[in-house]
Amino acid sequence: MNLPDRFTLFHLSVAVGAVVGCLLLVLGASPASQARTGQGQLERDLARRARVEFLLDAYAPVQQLADQGRVQQALMKLEEIGRRYPGEAYGLLLKGRLLAEAGAADQAIAAYAAAVRGNPDFVEDGAPLAARDEIEQLVNRHLEPLRRRLADGATGISARRTMEQLRYLQSRLAGGCE
């Protein structure tokens, strides 16, 4: 049997050495790596929790007014906070709730749709600040009457726009990969 030449031996030993080195490093560093992974996960969980706490805190005055049934004042407060955080999704969710309570269904639906666009977690079961049930109820309450209105010849841009928003929420509630 011919022994491999030095060129082959050199490259073979580099390859084998590098692979063995990789394995040793990966296996040897496993506990430390796991600790770092845990640290990374902790940081992500902390950031997520902090975000939720911050939002609840920032919008607490709105929630207090809403709890007292002072919907108009709550909406004004929300607008005031919204100037500081324009387009923030939780603020839009609160706006949807307040407008629904005030009976402004079309605007409420638009606000809910904008909120879900900004943060799809709102329609996810078990997510912090999730509002899946109330969004589902909103869609179920308004979809069929609006569909009938459109079928009966309602031609307003606003009705069609509201229907688009409802369809969007309906599709988000259905799930899927996106």
Partner 1 sequence: MPSFDRQFVTILLASALLGLLGVFLALWGNPDNSGICVSCFLENSAGALGLHHNERMQYLRPELLGFVLGALASAMLGREFRSRGGSAPMLRLLSGIFLMVGCAAFIGCPIKLFLRLTAGDLTTLAGLAGLLAGVWIGLKGLAAGVSFERPGRAGGSAGFWLPILALAGVSVYWLRPEFIQFSVRGSGAQHAPVLAALGSGLLLGGLAQRSRFCVTGSVRDTLLLGRRNPLLWGLGVFVVVALLVNLASGHFRPGLYGQPGAHLEHLWSFLGMLLVGWLSVLIGGCPFRQLIKAGEGDADAGLVVIGMLLGAGLVQAWGLAATAAGVPVYGKVAVLAGLAFTSINVLLARRAEG
Binding stretches for partner 1 (CB under 8 A): 26, 30, 33-34, 36-37, 40, 44, 117, 120-121, 124, 127, 164, 167-168, 170-178
131 exposure class (CB count in 10 Å sphere: 0-12, 13-18, 19+): buried
Query: E strands within the chain?
Result: none
Q: Is 57 exposed, middle or buried (0-12, 13-18, 19+ CB in 10 A)?
A: exposed
CA dist 95 and 78 (Å) reads 7
CB of 140 to partner 1, least distance (A): 11
Q: Nearest approach, Cβ of 24 to partner 1 (angstroms)?
A: 13
Please say which residue, 73 or 170, places its beta carbon nearer to partner 1. 170
What does the alpha-carbon distance between residue 109 and residue 166 come to, in Å, rounded to a whole number?
7
CA atoms lying within 13 Å on the CB side of residue 52: 11
Which residue number, 19 or 76, has a Cβ lying nearer to partner 1?
Answer: 19
| CB atoms near residue 104 (< 10 Å) | 15
Q: What are the start-end ranges of the E strands in 48-132?
A: none
Q: How far is the CB of 59 from partner 1 (least distance, A)?
A: 21
Nearest distance, CB of residue 157 and partner 1, angstroms: 17
Minimum distance from residue 57 beta carbon to partner 1 (Å): 22
The continuous run of DSSP H or E covering 176 comes out as none
